[in-house]
Amino acid sequence: MRGSIKLFNVFGISIKIHFTFLLLPIIFGHFYGLRGVFLILFVFCCVTFHELCHSLQAKHFGVKVEQIVLLPIGGVAAMKSIPEKPKEEFKISIAGPLFNVTFALVLFLPAYFLLGPENLFHPGIETWPKTFAYAFWINPILAVFNLLPAFPMDGGRILRSFLADRMEYGKATRIAVGFGHTFAVLFGFVGLISSPPNIILIIIAFFIFIAASQEGMQVDLRLTLRRFSVKDVLPEQFVSVSPSTPLSEVLALTMHSHQEDFPVVENGKIKGLLTRSDIILTIHQFGVQKLVKDVMRTDFPVVQVKDPLIKAHRLMEEWQLKAIPVMRREEVVGIVSLEDISRVYLLMSTSKR
């Protein structure tokens, strides 16, 4: 995520903090001094452990987790995918709130005897005992809030896992997305009618609505692509280039064809991949006299013509590519692009209406 600062790695997961999160200790420190800074740092720790529990459970099921980013409104674990097996999604989703509940239970008796019931049950930031009490209640609040069935929050994912165990996965997702939209509208309404308006609640509502919509679309895309193979969308004609081709010729090819990415072939063997972004960057820096071999990527994925289309889409996402070479055993037979995949998805989406 842009604007994120890496703090450290744990269990192979990069822990990052978004620069906007740094505003919180500054604001709370200004109004409440050291007690405000302590409270924000404690929230930071609780959210980090919450997301780590999600991530470690996900890694247990083979899901790749690259990073955790802490934002002012919470944490986001960047998982490559969410298992579609209901039991696995349930275990991943419940892991975070379960940590918060367990941590609160462990701290309850020490907090009760050290702080006293008058402070524990009347938290605030006026004194240090009340601040510690406030910190204690952070974990129960995080657990309860995250368990609301507002997809794609933890409770929404738990709801989907429950529904997916009893109906088709796509239908379960659509119902969960509907719950997410409903809660987003409710949060936004409450935030707007509050006096003064609750800006944080309005921002949370916005993010829930957008995230629910995006995840619903991603699931619909995956379910659609599973019905097709690469050969179903592979263009009949394609252009390849050789390593010795000047970029000036490649630029001319892009202007006279719809193809923007090119497999690099020499003696019938694929040697590299030349992407549109690499062409533009090189031309801006060095002009058009560079050769393809100076610019092409030598580390890139390929798919076989009979592979599922969803595999091609997944590889493009992982490698951040807009096109990928297609092989028939060792022979290059074409190149499939995100545009080709989008065309199929839009066509199938239109036919459903």
Please identify every residue annotated as catalytic.
Answer: 51
- 228, with CB counted inside 10 A (0-12, 13-18, 19+), is middle
SS3 label, residue 142 = helix
SS3 label, residue 56 = helix
**Cα angle 340, 344, 348; round to 5:** 170
Q: Are 69 and 54 in contact (CB under 8 A)?
A: no
C-alpha dihedral sign at 142, 148, 150, 156: positive
CA separation for the pair 159, 152 (Å, rounded)? 10
| Tokens representing residue 110 in the block | 């020490």
DSSP letter (8 states) at residue 290:
S
Q: Which of 268, 267, 264, 258 is nearest to 237 (CA)?
A: 258
At CB < 8 A and 24+ separation, what contacts does 151-156 make?
151/176, 151/177, 151/179, 151/180, 151/212, 151/215, 152/176, 152/180, 152/208, 152/211, 152/212, 152/215, 153/180, 153/208, 154/54, 154/93, 154/94, 154/96, 154/97, 155/93, 156/180, 156/212
